Structure formats: C-alpha cells, structure tokens
Chains A and B, each alone.
Chain A
Amino acid sequence: MENKVTREIFPRDSRKSYGLVELMKGTVPIVRKEPEDTVYVWPNLILIEVICALLVTAGLILLVQFVHAPLRSLADPSTTPNPMRAPWYFLGLQELLVYFDPWYAGVALPGMIIVGLMVFPYVDTNPKGTGYFTLTERPFAIFNYSFGFALWWVTIVIGTYLRGLDWQWYWPWSNHLEHMNPALVTLVPLHIVFVNFLHVSKDIAKGLCDILFFAYFAIGMAIPYFFMRKFYDSLGGARYFVFMLFFLSMMGVGFKIILRLLFNIKYIVVTPWINV
C-alpha cells in the first residue's frame, strides 16, 4: 500500500506556527505500513533490550574471571619498553608507520579515513540494498568497505603477533629476545632504482617518479570515465571525483605496502618537503 501525497493544500509558511501540510490517501493514520504489522515496544522490544543487557553483563563478569586489566611497573620516562605497542585499535596505524612517514600514517591518513567514512553515504548512489543484507546488489560498495577494514584488521594482527624488538618482523617461532640485524634490508627511494637500472641521471629519475605518481591518479580517474560510462554517469562529476580520490588513495596504501615488502621501496615521490 503505497501512499502518495495528493496535493499540497497550504504551502508551509514561516509566519504561521500551524497548518495543514498535506493530504494523504489511505485508510490508516500510519503511512506505508499495515497496522497489523506492528507490535508494542513494551514489552516486546524492552524485553529484548533487557535480555541483551543481562547477557552482556554476565558475559563480561565471566570474562574478567579469566583475564585481568594489565598494570605494569610505574611510568619511567628513562626506560623505553621495546617494542612499544599502541592500544590494539591503533596498532593498524602504528604498523603503517613502517610504510609511510609519520605525518602521513599518523595524521593525514587517519584524517582521510574519518572523512572518507563520512562521505560514503554521499558518494554511494546505488538506490538498492537498504534494509536487508545483500552482497550481489551492491558488490562494489561492500568491496570498498571490506578492503579498507581488511587492511585495518590485518595490520592489527601483524602489529600484535608478528612484530617484536625494534618493530622488526618476528615469526611466532623466532627468538623474540634477540635483535634482528636491520642492516639486512636497505630501503631505497624508487628513483634510486631507476638510476641503477635505467642508467638515467638522478633528476630524470625523480621526474619519472613524479610522473608515475600523478599518472596513477590521472589514469585511475580516467579509466572509469572513458570505459565505465554508466558508473561515471550514475555519480556525476563532483561525486565521482571525491569518490575516486578516496578510492585511489586507499588502493595506493595497498600498493605502497606491496612495493615496500617485495622491493624494499621506501618512497615513491621525494620532494624537499614531503616524501610519499
């Protein structure tokens, strides 16, 4: 039973505090739902809430019989624990410090995650899939959410279980008391790789890196624009730009991690001010 506004009788008027706003067709005062479909909150919903609360309380009380809040020795500014771990929910960001400079991993990226989450409802124009769980009707939206948070949780697991002294990589079976030799891995900026393999001058190599970096964003922006016209049209210019900026940045974090782990690349772009 779909009710439509038939006609506006009196336009809303700021000089009046009252007014008949609109006429609806229908036989019941509730819009768009059958009266039989509803139940009273008391006791139906209240009961569920109370049961939930009791279960959570019981669960917590049970839990703290087995695990306890930690208390280490008194704070001592002169002895730094090694490794130093952030609380688990920030371990993902701490792990990203391995791949990015602090201004990016610790400030810019968290800011982008927050803003990116906030703009999500405004750039997801797919009208389908509200009010029920579905994967097939909105695979791309779910891919984005899952990719971002997979990164979040995987880095948390790495930070918790696979990092040891000096934040080096330790397998569970490695000797966690022995320092790794950091000299085993030398990190280089990408342009040095170009200098070594393409035998070009440093400046040209740097230029190449800058071009590569911007090409990533430019080509990334262009591909759907030219080849996935339906996707572009459904978003419109502004939404498309905002979405792609966040999307490419997020994928970029993934690419940078791969480059660092497989090829020991420290930076893609090196400028006098910032390195990425």
Chain B
Amino acid sequence: MLENVKEKIVKSQVFRSIFRHGFPDNDLNRAYVVFSNVFLHIHPVKVRRSALRMRYTFCLGGITLFLFIMLTVTGIWLMFYYTPYTGLAYSNIQDIQFVIFGGNLMRDLHRFAAHGMVLFVWLHMTRVFLTGAYKAPREFNWVVGVVLLVNTLILSWTGYLLPWDQLAYWAVTVGTKMASYTPFIGQNGPWGAQLGFLPTNDIMFMLIGGTVVGQNALIRFYVLHCVVLPLVVTVFLAVHFWRIRKDGFSGPL
C-alpha cells in the first residue's frame, strides 16, 4: 500500500519534473541527487571514507558556513524592524527586544551566531593550519580564506554600530579614529598632514562620511553590513568551495 503510494508519487510528472530521479536508495540515484541539485552539487558524488572522519575537520568549516546562513536568516528578519536613522535605530532595537514577538530570541541568536562565526572561522583556520592543508596546491584557497576571515571581522564590527547605543557608538568612534592614523592618507598619520589631509578629506572622513560618527556613518555601516559585505563573503565562499573541489581535499589518503 505505502509502497504503491510512493511509486505513484515518484513516477508522477510533478515529482519527475522537480527531481528527475527516484529516491536516493540506490547508488545511481545517490549520484544523481548530488549532481542534479544546485545546492548539493558543491559536493563531489563520492568522498574518501577518511574525509568523513570527524577528528580531521571537526566540521569547523561547515559550522562556520552554517552560522553564516543562520546570520543571514535572522539578519533579514531583523531588517524588517530596523531603520538606519539615528532618531529611530535605538528605539527600533528596544521594540525588537521588548515588544515584537520573538524579537529577543532573534536578536540574541543574531548576536551570538556572529560571535560564534568569528570564533569558528578562527578554529577552522587553525585546523587547516595544523593539518598543513594550506600547502601546495591549496595556497590560493588559504589566501581566499584570509579574505573571508577579514570580511567576517569587518562584518561583525559594522553590525556593532547598528543598535546605536553607547557600546556601539564609542566602539565605532574609537575604531574609525584609527583610520585617521593611516600613514599618508590619514590626517593624524605619519606624513598625512604634510600631504594636505585634513579632518574633512582624509580616509576616516571617507569611511564615516563626516568628521564624527553620525547619520552618514550609520547608513554607510548599514549598507555595508546588510548588503555589501554579505555579498562579498558569498562570492568568496563560492570561490572557496569551488577551489576545494578543484584543488582536492587534503584529508588522509
């Protein structure tokens, strides 16, 4: 009876139009399921048994990726309630926390998944380092990884400003002040003033769109945090995974 229903579903035009193969209960379909699905096809069809060993990767790269996905989902949810305007941002966050159903949970998840992503990206890098997985032919994927690491940190830091509370405001004020010490292109940096850089035209001014952190800085950080940096990370992740496939996985033979 159940077998019959299953047969019917699997053979139906709708099912076949979506999946193009039967249940992955035999080797042929197990192969199909991977290479006919856009999300699964970043995997090879088969992997070496040893590559599955948890005590090699500890799943750290995968966990980092999952945290990134989780941040995307909770982040989009938060965007529905958040306005990048200095007069509203703080009360929006208060609403999320105290008024909106599930808001507290979403904000907490977003915040701690962000801390987690920073931690796990570092752990993943350490695993890659300790297993020598960055050596030829994987040197370039390590470089891609470093770009991902830096982007993860900046992503986290730009998000830090958005609640517009004292913590956010001063962390970003002090952080962006560092930019003004950049040699040559910051007004406080070595050779900066000599080259004609002032508080109103140096690199820090460019970064925050003013001489102090204000509305312009908020909208810049908002756009970077919600659009630009996630896109950059996604693009580099695509390269990262592509290269793992092309360069081969380093696991024990």
Report Cα–Cα, A43/B50, bound state, in Å.
15
Asked if B212 CB lies within 8 Å of chain A CBs, one says yes
Residues on A with beta carbons closer than 8 Å to the beta carbon of B30: 40-43
Contact (A60, B160) CB under 8 Å given A46-B40, A76-B166, A76-B169 = no
Task: State the Cβ distance, A98 to closest chain B Cβ, in Å.
Answer: 14
Report Cα–Cα, A142/B212, bound state, in Å.
43
Contact (A38, B48) CB under 8 Å given A72-B165, A72-B166, A107-B178 = yes
Contact (A102, B168) CB under 8 Å given A40-B31, A61-B109, A131-B252 = no
In chain B, positions 162-187 with a C-beta closer than 8 Å to chain A are 163-171, 174-175, 177-179, 181-183, 186
Report Cα–Cα, A137/B113, bound state, in Å.
36
Asked if B82 CB lies within 8 Å of chain A CBs, one says no
Asked if B236 CB lies within 8 Å of chain A CBs, one says no
Would you call A117 and B212 a contact (CB within 8 A)? no
Asked if A19 CB lies within 8 Å of chain B CBs, one says no
Asked if B243 CB lies within 8 Å of chain A CBs, one says no
| Listed A/B pairs (16) with beta-carbon separation below 8 Å | A39-B49, A41-B34, A41-B46, A60-B112, A74-B90, A86-B175, A90-B153, A103-B186, A107-B178, A117-B149, A121-B139, A121-B142, A129-B132, A131-B250, A132-B132, A149-B122
Kindly supply a per-residue 1/0 record for chain B positions 76-98, scoring 1 wherever the CB is within 8 Å of any chain A CB and 0 otherwise.
00000000001000100110010
In chain A, positions 137-155 with a C-beta closer than 8 Å to chain B are 138, 141-142, 145, 149
Report Cα–Cα, A154/B167, bound state, in Å.
23
Considering the complex, give the chain B residue whose CB is closest to the CB of A35.
Answer: B46
* Of listed B30, B45, B153, B166, residue having the most chain A CB within 10 A: B166
Residues on A with beta carbons closer than 8 Å to the beta carbon of B183: 103, 107-108, 274
Task: State the Cβ distance, A234 to closest chain B Cβ, in Å.
Answer: 14
Binding site for A on B (CB under 8 A): 24, 27, 30-31, 33-34, 40, 43-50, 52, 54, 56, 59, 62-63, 66-67, 70, 86, 90, 93-94, 97, 104-105, 107-113, 115-116, 118, 122, 126, 129-136, 138-139, 142-143, 146, 149-150, 153, 156-157, 160, 163-171, 174-175, 177-179, 181-183, 186, 188-191, 212-213, 250-253
Would you call B47 and A39 a contact (CB within 8 A)? yes
In chain A, positions 50-98 with a C-beta closer than 8 Å to chain B are 52-53, 56-57, 60-61, 63-64, 67-77, 79-81, 84-90, 94
Binding site for B on A (CB under 8 A): 32-33, 37-46, 48-49, 52-53, 56-57, 60-61, 63-64, 67-77, 79-81, 84-90, 94, 101-103, 106-108, 114, 117-118, 120-122, 124, 126-134, 138, 141-142, 145, 149, 273-274
Task: State the Cβ distance, A242 to closest chain B Cβ, in Å.
Answer: 14
Would you call B174 and A84 a contact (CB within 8 A)? yes
Count of inter-chain pairs, beta carbons less than 8 A: 211
Residues on A with beta carbons closer than 8 Å to the beta carbon of B126: 145, 149
Would you call B252 and A77 a contact (CB within 8 A)? no
Would you call A121 and B135 a contact (CB within 8 A)? yes
Residues on B with beta carbons closer than 8 Å to the beta carbon of A33: 48, 253
Residues on A with beta carbons closer than 8 Å to the beta carbon of B253: 32-33, 131
Residues on A with beta carbons closer than 8 Å to the beta carbon of B182: 103, 107
Residues on B with beta carbons closer than 8 Å to the beta carbon of A133: 130-131
Report Cα–Cα, A32/B253, bound state, in Å.
9
Name B63's contact: one of A52, A69, A121 (CB within 8 Å). Answer: A52
Residues on A with beta carbons closer than 8 Å to the beta carbon of B250: 130-131
